[in-house]
């Protein structure tokens, strides 16, 4: 910090900085803080002067934090949390809490868990807000800066400061439309190979600081290994970026796609599609929960972690 201007800092300026770092928008930050956009801009000007740094730069997506902002952001957020804990009641009452919880989750977690999460929060924490966002390449920075509370997804690698819990274990199954030419009941591998397949791109979110997330569901090469062992090949009819795109193709074609069983079961409720069991050994995959381990000292975070566990157990 600039020692000459340190006297210009006060708690309200730090609160503005903390919310700006999370929202990346003066308008949204003002709405959360109960301030006008001009008041937020004035506070940002004072912060820039005090810290001798631009802190945020405008880009097409909003306000982009400078390296200095990203450096001090987690420390400022932690300090504000400590102050809040020092003066706030020691417990967290979900029935009266006005608080925002932010989760990062993919289509699968949203489909199988989000409805029950929302239903429970409506009863237990009716004044709390839930934000579910997509994963980005800056996912680790979002966790460190407390802009994201929990991440739900497939985890390949995570830093030690992140707690990692398995929420669900999932089987994969093949999905086809009801009128598909495959026979009903158990099928052979040759029969599965008699129709084209929808291939879902294997994407990973890789953070250079040590976080790797699977952005698509896969069987770790079990199907391809079985084909290679038996000297067989399959026909790929189309490659799509995600599971929901694959389900849309299946609905209008005779192709098949390998997707999570719970999601497949949801898609069969209309009677338009049906599940086909894999005619080979298929391993389970996991849905995991990530969060900063030291945040469990926050009663609100501990409560939300418990709610996510309950929902996963019910699923």
Top-confidence residue, 217 or 37: 37
Determine which of 36-45, 123-132, 215-224, 266-275 has the lowest per-residue pLDDT on average. Answer: 215-224
Is the CB of residue 242 less than 8 Å from the CB of residue 200? yes
CA separation for the pair 130, 109 (Å, rounded): 14
Structure letter (DSSP) for residue 256: B
Residue 164, C-beta contacts closer than 8 angstroms, at least 6 positions apart: 155, 158, 288, 289, 290
Range of the domain at 136: 100-169+287-314
- The answer to whether residue 93 is domain-embedded is no
With both helix axes pointing from N to C terminus, report the angle between 11-23 and 67-87 in degrees, rounded to the nearest 10: 120
Top-confidence residue, 151 or 315: 151
Q: Based on the domain organization, do 106 and 197 belong to the same domain?
A: no
Q: Residue 155 maps to which CATH number?
A: 3.40.190.10
Q: Based on the domain organization, do 160 and 188 belong to the same domain?
A: no
Strand partners, 230: none
Q: Based on the domain organization, do 299 and 267 belong to the same domain?
A: no
Q: Based on the domain organization, do 181 and 279 belong to the same domain?
A: yes
**Total number of domains constituting the chain:** 3
Is the CB of residue 65 less than 8 Å from the CB of residue 56? yes
- Domain end, chosen from 64, 87, 110, is at 87
Mean per-residue pLDDT, 160-165? 91
pTM, two decimals, is: 0.71
Q: Tokens standing for 84?
A: 């809040």
Q: Based on the domain organization, do 197 and 269 belong to the same domain?
A: yes
Q: Based on the domain organization, do 302 and 226 belong to the same domain?
A: no
- Domain end, chosen from 38, 60, 87, is at 87
Q: Based on the domain organization, do 153 and 193 belong to the same domain?
A: no
Predicted confidence at residue 8, as pLDDT, reads 56
- In this predicted model, what pLDDT tens digit does every residue of 62-119 receive, in sequence order? 899 999 999 888 888 888 877 776 666 567 899 999 899 999 998 889 989 999 999 9
Determine which of 29-38, 204-213, 291-300 has the lowest per-residue pLDDT on average. Answer: 204-213
> What average pLDDT does the structure give for the chain?
88
Q: Residue 40 maps to which CATH number?
A: 1.10.10.10
Q: Tokens standing for 203?
A: 């994407």
Strand partners, 105: 152
């Amino acid at each position: 910090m600039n020692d000459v201007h340190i006297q210009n800092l006060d708690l309200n300026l730090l609160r503005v900085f903390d919310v700006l770092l999370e929202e990346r928008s003066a308008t949204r930050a003002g709405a959360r803080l109960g301030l006008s956009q001009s008041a937020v801009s004035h506070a940002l000007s004072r912060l820039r002067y005090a810290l001798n740094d631009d802190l945020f730069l405008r880009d097409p997506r909003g306000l982009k934090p400078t390296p200095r902002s990203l450096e001090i952001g987690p420390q400022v957020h932690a300090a504000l949390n400590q102050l809040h804990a020092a003066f706030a009641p020691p417990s967290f009452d979900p029935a009266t809490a006005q608080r925002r919880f932010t989760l990062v989750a993919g289509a699968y977690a949203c489909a199988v868990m989000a409805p029950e999460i929302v239903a429970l929060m409506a009863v237990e924490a009716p004044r709390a807000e839930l934000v579910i966002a997509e994963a980005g390449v800056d996912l680790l920075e979002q966790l460190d800066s407390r802009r994201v509370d929990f991440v739900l997804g497939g985890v390949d690698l995570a830093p030690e400061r992140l707690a990692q819990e398995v929420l669900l274990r999932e089987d994969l199954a093949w999905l086809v439309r009801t009128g598909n030419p495959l026979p009903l009941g158990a099928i052979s591998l040759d029969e599965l190979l008699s129709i084209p397949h929808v291939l879902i791109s294997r994407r990973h979110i890789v953070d250079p600081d040590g976080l790797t997330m699977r952005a698509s569901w896969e069987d770790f090469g079990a199907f391809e290994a079985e084909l290679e062992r038996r000297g067989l090949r399959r026909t790929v009819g189309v490659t799509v970026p995600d599971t929901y795109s694959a389900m849309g193709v299946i609905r209008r074609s005779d192709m098949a796609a390998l997707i999570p069983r719970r999601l497949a079961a949801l898609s069969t409720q209309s009677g338009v599609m049906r599940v086909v069991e894999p005619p080979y050994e298929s391993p389970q995959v996991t849905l995991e929960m990530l969060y900063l381990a030291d945040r469990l000292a926050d009663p609100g975070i501990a409560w939300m972690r418990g709610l996510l566990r309950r929902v996963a157990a019910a699923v």
